[in-house]
Amino acid sequence: MNKLLVIIGKIIIKILHLFKRNAGNLPGIILWHLTGGKCCRMFKIDCPIIAVTGTNGKTSVTNCIAQLFEQNGKKIIINKEGNNLDTGICSLLLRHCSISGKVDADYLILETDESHVPVVYSQQKLETLVVLNFFRDQLDRNGEMETLIQKINHFCKTFEGNLVLNGDDPNTARLGRANPDNKNVRYFHAEPYKFATEKIFEASEGRFCPFCGQPLEYDYYQYSHIGKFICRNCGFGDFIPFITASNIDLEKPVFTADGNKYSPKLNSIYNVYNMTAVAGIGKLYNIDRNIINKVISRYTVKNGRMENFMLGDRKTTLNLAKNPVGANMTLRVMNEMQGEKELLFVLNDNVADGLDVSWIWDINFSIFRNVTRVVTSGTRAYDIAVRIKCSGYDASDIVVKPDLDEAVEELARTDGRKFVIANYTAVQSTRNALKRYISKHGGKNE
Amino acid sequence: MSKLKVLHMYADMLDLYGDSGNMEILEYRCKMRGIECDVEKYSIDSKMPDFSSYDLIYIGGGADLEQQHISTDLQKCRKGIESAYKKGVFLFLICGGYQLMGKYYKDADGNKIKGLGLFDYYTVAEPDRRKRCIGNIIIRTDFMGKSVDIVGFENHGGQTKGVKTPLGDVLCGHGNCTKSQHEGYFEKNVIATYMHGPCLAKNPEISDYIIEYCINRNTENKVKLLKLDDTLEKQCRQVMIDRLIKK
C-alpha cells in the first residue's frame, strides 16, 4: 500500500514537472486525501529528524542548522522553499525517497509550521525540536494563540527527544514543563543588549504565568515580550540556560556564546536569538566550533529581509514584516538612521497572511522620525493608510497606490533614502516590482 | 472646550485584533476637533475608580484564558459599572467585553464565567474550537436616522443569544451566532459588538456617534461635531464592501 502511494506521488511530481509546475505542495495535498490525512506516515526514515518551529525566524534557523551538518560532511534533506505544512513535507520526502519509500539521508532538517508539529511528528519520530518564539501571527487561521500553544504543549507531554526552547519567551519556555520526565529539555537565553528596556515597548502576549496566573516579572525586555522573566510565585522562568548569548554589540555586530565570539552579518537582536539557537544545536550535536563560526558569520538573507536595492541612485531597504514585532523592529532601524526618509508599506491579506490585518494597529507608528512621505500599497493599501493617519501622521503626506508598480514609481519619484515594509505574501511581489523598476530605470539589487 | 473622559478597562489583557486602536482613533478624532480626550486605564492591580465620573467605559476582547483572569476582578466593579451605565455613561464593548456584560459566558471547555448581568443576553462558546466565526463582516445599522453599512473583522467561538436590540443586520459574515441575522447589541448609550479590526477604523460614524453622545450628555447646548475629512476611511470601507458583496 505504502509503495503504491509513493509511486502515485512520484508520478504526480513527474506530471507537474512536465508542465513546468512547482511540485512543492500539490503532491502532498493529493496524498493527504488518499491517506485520510496521514500523508507523512508512508515514508521509512531511519535518520534523525530535527524540526524548527515558532512564529519568526524558522527559515533562517532551519537553513543555518542544515549548513552546520552539511559543512560537517553529512547528507541532509531540508525544505528550503519553506513548504512547512504536512503536505509540503510529504512533497519534499516524495522527491527524495526510493520507490519503497525509504528516505536516504544523514539528517532531515525540517522547518515546520507551528500548528503542524503534532500532525507531522505523530507520524514520524522526531529527535530534536527547536521552538523559537510565539507571537501573534495569522491568528485567524490558528484560532487563538493559546490554542496553538496548547496543541504543541500536548505534543510535548509525550515527547522524549531534545527540546530546545527560547528561554526568554514565556510562550515557548512553558513547553519545558510539559513532560517532567523529559531530561532533554534545553533553553537558550540572551543577556540584555543596548536597547533592552525595563518596560515593555510593544504590544505583546504572555504577561501572566501560564501555570499559576500571577503576573510575570521582567528584569529586561529585549523586544516585544522577549526578555528575562520570572514568576515570583511558582518559579517559572528559573532555569539554567544550555547556551547564553552575551556581550551583544549590534553596531559591529558581535556576540559571545559558550565562550565563542561570533560576528553575524545581520545586526538585529532577533538574529542574535536565532543564531544562539543555531549555536545551541551545534553544541548539542558536538559540531566543531569553527564550523559553527563559519555558518553564523556567513549567514545572510536575500529574500526581502533587510535587503538593499538601488532605485536609480536612491538607496532602498526592503524588510519583511509579517507581524507587529517585525514591523516595529524595522521602524526602529529606520528611526536610528539619520536624515529624512520615505516609507512604502505594502499590505496584503491573502490566505497565507491571515485574512485579518488588524495587527497593523499594534505597530507603534508614533515613533516616526523624519519620515517625510508614506506610500501604501497591496490588497489592503487603504487599511495601512488609515492606520498611519490615525497615529497622527499628516494624511496629506500619505499616497495610496494599491497597484504595486505604481507604488514603486511613486516612491522613487523623489530623491532620498527609502524604506519598504511588506508583509508575508507581499514581499516577493514587492521584490519583483522593485526589480522591474530597476530594469526600466536603472539601479541595482545589492 | 469640550472634554471626553474615557476609562479603558483591562487594556493590557483584553486587546485582540487591534482593539486598543479604537482608543487611538477616538483620541485622534477628538484632537482634530479640539476636543480634549483623556484616556485612563484600569486593570487588575488598579485602585477602584469612580466609574460614574467618566463619559465612556471601553472594554476590548481577549482569549478565553485572559477572560478567566479578569472575570473575578470585573465582578468587583459590577456595582460601579452598573450605576455608571444607569447614569448614562457610554459603554463601548468589543467581543469579550460584550460577552461579559451579559448574564454569563460558557467557554469551550464548559467553564462558566459569570457576567455582570447588565443585559439579558448570554454567550455559549462553540465546544469545537475549530468552528469559529471568522472573517470580514458587514452589517447595516442606523446612526441618528442614517443607514450605514459598517465593516469589521470577527473571530469568536462564542454564540451570543437573547439579544433584544442588536446593533445591526448582517449583510455578510456571521454576527452574534454562526450565520445569524443580527450582530451586536445597541442602546442609546451602549454599543457592544464582535467587530474587531479595530471596529472604529473603517467606521467613522460609530466614533462620531460616541463622541457626540459623550460631549452632549450633560449639557443643554447640544454641540454638532465638526466634519472631518474621512475620504481614506470611506475608501477603505468601500474596497472591502465591493470585495465581499458587489463583485
Percent of chain B with pLDDT over 70: 99
- At residue B110, the pLDDT reads 87
Q: CA-to-CA distance for B150 and B135, rounded, in angstroms?
A: 14
Name the more confident of A22 and A221: A221
**Positive or negative CA dihedral for A78, A318, A148, A206?**
positive
- At residue A142, the pLDDT reads 45
- At residue A137, the pLDDT reads 55
pLDDT digits (tens, 9 = 90+) for B166-178: 999 999 999 999 9
- At residue A446, the pLDDT reads 73
Where is A441: in which H helix or E strand? helix A424-441
Q: How confident is the model at residue B1 (pLDDT cuts 50, 70, 90)?
A: low
Percent of chain A with pLDDT over 90: 66
Q: Is the pLDDT of residue A103 over 80?
A: yes
Using an 8 Å CB-CB cutoff, list chain A residues near B131: none
Nearest CA to CA, how far is B89 from chain A (Å)? 25
**Mean pLDDT computed over B134-159:** 93
Tell me whether residues B198 and A361 touch, CB distance under 8 A. Answer: yes
The reply to whether A100 touches chain B by the CB within 8 Å rule is no
Cβ contact A310:A443 at 8 Å = yes
Tell me whether residues A358 and B18 touch, CB distance under 8 A. Answer: yes
Q: Is the pLDDT of residue A254 over 80?
A: yes
- At residue A287, the pLDDT reads 96
ipTM of the complex: 0.95
Q: Of A204-218, A387-401, B77-91, B121-135, which range is least confident?
A: A204-218
Q: How confident is the model at residue A163 (pLDDT cuts 50, 70, 90)?
A: very high
Cβ contact B47:B80 at 8 Å = no
Q: Is the pLDDT of residue B3 over 70?
A: yes
**Mean pLDDT computed over A37-48:** 94
Q: What is the DSSP string of A36-69?
A: TT-TTTT-EE-S-EEEEESSSSHHHHHHHHHHHH
Q: How confident is the model at residue B16 (pLDDT cuts 50, 70, 90)?
A: confident
The reply to whether A146 touches chain B by the CB within 8 Å rule is yes
Rg (CA), chain B: 17
Tell me whether residues B20 and A361 touch, CB distance under 8 A. Answer: yes
B30, B37, B77, B95: the active-site residue: B95
Tell me whether residues A395 and B232 touch, CB distance under 8 A. Answer: yes
pTM for this model (two decimals):
0.70
Using an 8 Å CB-CB cutoff, list chain A residues near B45: 215
Tell me whether residues B236 and A362 touch, CB distance under 8 A. Answer: no
Percent of chain B with pLDDT over 90: 79
**Mean pLDDT computed over B2-9:** 94
Q: State how far the alpha carbon of A246 is from the alpha carbons of A241, A273, A297, A442, in Å.
A: 12, 11, 16, 43
Tell me whether residues B233 and A386 touch, CB distance under 8 A. Answer: yes
Q: Is the pLDDT of residue B120 over 50?
A: yes
Which A positions 115-134 lie with beta carbon below 8 A of chain B? none
Instruction: Please name the residue that has the C-alpha cell 494599491.
Output: A402
Using an 8 Å CB-CB cutoff, list chain B residues near A361: 17-18, 20-21, 24, 198, 201
Highest average pLDDT, of A196-200, A318-322, B78-82, comes from B78-82
- At residue A302, the pLDDT reads 66
The reply to whether A239 touches chain B by the CB within 8 Å rule is no
Please name the member of A207, A386, A398 whose beta carbon is closest to the beta carbon of B201: A386
Beta-ladder partners of A52: A111, A130
The reply to whether A211 touches chain B by the CB within 8 Å rule is no
Using an 8 Å CB-CB cutoff, list chain B residues near A147: 129
B8, B174, B182, B196: the active-site residue: B196
> Catalytic annotation on B196?
yes
**What is the pLDDT of chain A when averaged over all its residues?**
90
Cβ contact B23:A362 at 8 Å = no
β A417-422/A341-346 pair status: parallel
pLDDT digits (tens, 9 = 90+) for A399-446: 999 999 999 999 999 999 999 999 988 988 899 899 999 989 988 887
**Mean pLDDT computed over A216-236:** 92
Q: Is the pLDDT of residue A213 over 90?
A: no
Q: Is the pLDDT of residue A138 over 50?
A: no
The reply to whether A104 touches chain B by the CB within 8 Å rule is no
Q: Chains A, B: CB contacts under 8 A, how many?
A: 89
Cβ contact A376:A385 at 8 Å = yes
Q: Is the pLDDT of residue A129 over 80?
A: yes
- At residue B126, the pLDDT reads 86
Nearest CA to CA, how far is A33 from chain B (Å)? 19
Using an 8 Å CB-CB cutoff, list chain B residues near A383: 201-202, 236
Instruction: Please name the residue that has the C-alpha cell 529527535.
Output: A127
- At residue A322, the pLDDT reads 81
Instruction: Please name the residue that has the C-alpha cell 536610528.
Output: A336
Q: How confident is the model at residue B144 (pLDDT cuts 50, 70, 90)?
A: confident
Nearest CA to CA, how far is B83 from chain A (Å)? 30
Q: CA-to-CA distance for A271 and A20, rounded, in angstroms?
A: 36
Q: What is the DSSP string of A397-419?
A: GEEE--SHHHHHHHHHTS-SEEE
Q: Is the pLDDT of residue A10 over 80?
A: yes
- At residue A140, the pLDDT reads 44
β B56-59/B3-9 pair status: parallel
> Catalytic annotation on B177?
no
pLDDT digits (tens, 9 = 90+) for B62-81: 877 778 889 899 999 999 99
pLDDT digits (tens, 9 = 90+) for A325-364: 889 888 988 887 788 999 999 999 876 677 789 999 999 9
Q: Is the pLDDT of residue A143 over 60?
A: no
- At residue A202, the pLDDT reads 58
What residues in chain B have their Cβ under 8 A from chain A's Cβ atoms? 12-13, 15-18, 20-21, 24-25, 28, 31, 45, 63-66, 69, 129-130, 132, 134-136, 153, 155, 157, 196-198, 201-202, 229, 232-233, 235-236, 239
